[in-house]
Amino acid sequence: MTIALLIFWISLLLVVHTYVFYPFILRVLSYRKKGNRMVYEAGGELPVVSVIIAAHNEESCIAEKIESIYSGTYPYDRLEVLVGSDNSDDRTVEILAELQKRFPTLQFFDFRERRGKGSVVNDLVGASKGSLLVLTDANVMFDRETLFYLVRHFRNPAIGLVDTNMVNMGMKKDGISYQERAYISREVRIKDMEGRLWGAMMGPFGGCYAIRREDYCQVPANFLVDDFYINMTIFEKGKLAVNDLNSIVFENIPDELKVEFRRKVRIGTGNFQNLRRFWRLAFTMRYGFAFISHKIIRWFGPFLLLAALVANIYLAVFSRVYLFILAGHLLVYLLPFFDRFLGMMKMNAGPLRLATHFFSMNAALFTGFFRSLGSVRSGAWERTKRG
């Protein structure tokens, strides 16, 4: 019974730590804590930037993406854009050919073999000339000042990676978009605090972030989460990763639970690939606490939830207190089913949908763990359908 008690409370406290205690600790420690102050000034001499885009069947958004880059305030003569089509079979290449007539510093590469985002990015980086690389997705749109705020921190030689502030668009009440936006907004705040405190921001949003050319490390062809891989290689070099909330980008958010579940399974698989590669960073002074608290515990969240439930069932046999706790425990696990029932009745309840989002995310991590144990041969994946 003692072992069951330890399993129950340790598992429960670890889950609460990653989702509640850790963000609270960050908020307390980062109160009035200023971020990086060694920055480039607007109007001064700025570094040459290469914007890198891997695209697969992006005819619906690629023109708007390129327009959003070139309509910004970053000096035209300090900017180049490289787009690699990963064997697109729609009008992506045709649209890029037309755009190239308007924007001479736009280069595009028509790769006829499907290899995945990481391999395309590797090739584009090799063809680029900028001292700074902005890695971004085709469906993520820039604000006019995005590039300046993203780039300005690289005046500080200690900084190796800077992330943007992702603003989500295309909300729908009948799906999970509001819950996903709440999750992402919270993640942005957590990463900003990690950056301001320790320069240990745990993983950029892959939609848009910047690094130095000298710090770019080629992503293995079979890795599914390239942005986290690149972030951790920056840490291996002893450099810092920060977030700039003024560097705003826009992305339509997925609304369908099935679509988002598949995306999170892929991300979960990639997370465990990265854990096997970078687990040693969990034992470093600068990055360890953030890595364990923000990522590792959360990735093993489904196993902790399962362990707590099994231990609770065992304890309920011997204790009326734990029998009542078990009743509440099971009620929480039933919330997604209540949400599903209300959905069939064309009714939406925010708290229930939040529970559905939470358990779906953990189910995806659970699935991703076992997929990561097998052979992941390619980093290619289908784009997520968005509004």
Question: Each residue of 170-217: pLDDT tens digit?
Answer: 656 666 667 777 788 899 999 999 999 999 999 998 789 999 999 999
* Per-residue pLDDT tens digits for 156-176: 999 999 999 988 876 566 666
Residue-level pLDDT at 237: 95
Please tell me the pTM assigned to this model.
Answer: 0.89
Residue-level pLDDT at 386: 46
Q: Is residue 18 a contact partner of residue 297, using CB atoms and an 8 Å limit? A: yes
Whichever domain contains 184, its CATH number is 3.90.550.10
Domain ranges, residue 36:
1-387
Exposure string over 190-205, b if 16+ CB within 10 A, otherwise e: bbbbbbbbbbbbbbbb
Distance CA 310, CA 285 (A): 34
Residue-level pLDDT at 112: 86
**pLDDT tens, the chain, 387 aa long:** 789 999 999 999 999 999 999 999 999 999 988 889 999 998 889 999 999 999 999 999 999 999 999 999 999 999 999 999 998 888 999 999 999 999 999 999 999 888 888 889 999 999 999 999 999 999 999 999 999 999 999 999 999 999 999 888 765 666 666 777 778 889 999 999 999 999 999 999 878 999 999 999 988 888 888 899 999 999 999 999 999 999 999 988 766 778 888 889 999 999 999 999 999 999 999 999 999 999 999 999 999 999 999 999 999 999 999 999 999 999 999 988 887 777 766 666 667 778 888 899 999 999 999 999 987 765 554 555 545
Name 50's bridge partners: 80, 133
Query: Nearest CA to 82 among 58, 49, 119?
Result: 49
Distance CA 153, CA 39 (A): 5
Report the number of distinct structural domains present in the chain.
1
Residues 6+ away with beta carbon under 8 Å from 340: 356
Q: At what angle do helices 226-236 and 117-127 cross, to 10 degrees?
A: 60
End-to-end CA separation in angstroms for the chain: 51
* Per-residue pLDDT tens digits for 223-245: 888 899 999 999 999 999 999 99
CA-to-CA dists, residue 195 to 24, 101, 214, angstroms: 15, 40, 21
Helices vs strands, H then E, count in the chain: 14, 8
Residue-level pLDDT at 50: 97
